[in-house]
Chain A
Amino acid sequence: MTLIAPLLFAGLLVGPVLLNQNVNKGKTIEVIDESGLYKGKLEKHSSLKFIYLNESLEAAKKKLPKTKHEALLYIPKVNLDKPSGMKLFAEKRVSVEVERNVEKAISKVTENIKLLKSGIDKKVLSEIKTDISVDTQNLKGEESSGRAAMIIGYVSAFLIYFAIFLYGVQVMRGVIEEKVNRIIEVMISSVKPFQLMMGKIIGVALVGITQFILWIGLSVAITFAAGKLMGGNNAKVSQEATTSITKNMDAETQAMMKEELAGGNKIFRAINSIPVTTTIISFLLYFIGGYLLYSALFAAVGSAADTETDTQQFVLPISMPLVFAMVAASAIVRDPNGPLAFWMSMIPLTSPIAMMIRIPYGVATWEIILSLVLLVGGFIAITWLAGRIYRVGVLMYGKKVNFKEIAKWLFYKV
Chain B
Amino acid sequence: MSNLLEVRNVSKSYADHQALEDVSISIPEKSIFGLLGPNGAGKTTLIRIITQIISKDEGTISFDGQLLDPQHIRNMGYLPEERGLYKKMKVGEQLLYLAQLKGLSKREAMDKIKVWFEKFEMKSWWKKNVIDLSKGMQQKVQFVATVLHQPKLIILDEPFSGFDPVNANLIKDEILELRNQGSTIIFSTHRMESVEELCDHIALINRSKKVLEGKTKEVRNSHKTNTFTVDYQGTLNGSFEDKFKVLDTTIVEDSLKRSSIKIMQNGVSSNDLIGQLIQHVNVQSFQEKIPSINEIFIETVQGR
Using a CB–CB distance below 8 Å, which chain A residues touch chain B?
177-178, 181-192, 395, 408, 412-414
Contact = CB atoms under 8 A, between A and B. Distances in A.
Given A182-B83, A186-B78, 5 more contacts: A186-B84, A189-B53, A190-B102, A191-B101, A413-B55
Max chain B CB contacts within 10 Å: which of A182, A186, A188, A395?
A: A186
B15 interface: yes
B98 to A, nearest CB: 7
Given A181-B87, A408-B15, A412-B15, A188 B53 contact: yes
Contact of B52 (A181, A183, A187, A189): A189
B46 interface: no
Contact of A182 (B15, B73, B80): B80
B149 to A, nearest CB: 10
A388 to B, nearest CB: 13
A183 B86 contact: yes
Contact of B53 (A177, A183, A395): A395
A189 B76 contact: yes
A186 B145 contact: yes
Contact of B82 (A185, A188, A189, A191): A185
Contacts of A178: 86
Contacts of B101: 187, 190-191
Interface in B113-128: none
B55 A185 contact: no
Given A395-B53, A412-B15, A414-B54, A190 B73 contact: yes
B301 interface: no
Nearest to B56: A413
A402 B78 CA distance: 31
B108 interface: no
A189 B80 CA distance: 10
Nearest to A405: B15
A171 B193 CA distance: 43
A412 B53 CA distance: 14
Contacts of A187: 101
Given A189-B51, A408-B15, A181 B86 contact: yes
Contacts of B83: 182
B132 interface: no
B76 A181 contact: no
Given A181-B84, A181-B85, A413 B53 contact: no
A189 B85 contact: no
Nearest to B155: A189
A189 B83 CA distance: 13
Interface in B1-36: 15
A408 to B, nearest CB: 7
Interface string B230-251: 0000000000000000000000
Interface string B49-61: 0011111010000
B84 A183 contact: yes
Contacts of B70: 192
26 contacts: A177-B87, A178-B86, A181-B84, A181-B85, A182-B80, A182-B82, A182-B84, A183-B86, A185-B53, A185-B78, A185-B80, A185-B82, A185-B84, A186-B78, A188-B53, A189-B52, A189-B53, A189-B78, A190-B98, A192-B70, A395-B53, A412-B15, A413-B55, A413-B57, A414-B54, A414-B55
Contacts of A190: 73, 98, 101-102
Contacts of B76: 189
Contacts of A185: 53, 78, 80, 82, 84
B86 to A, nearest CB: 6
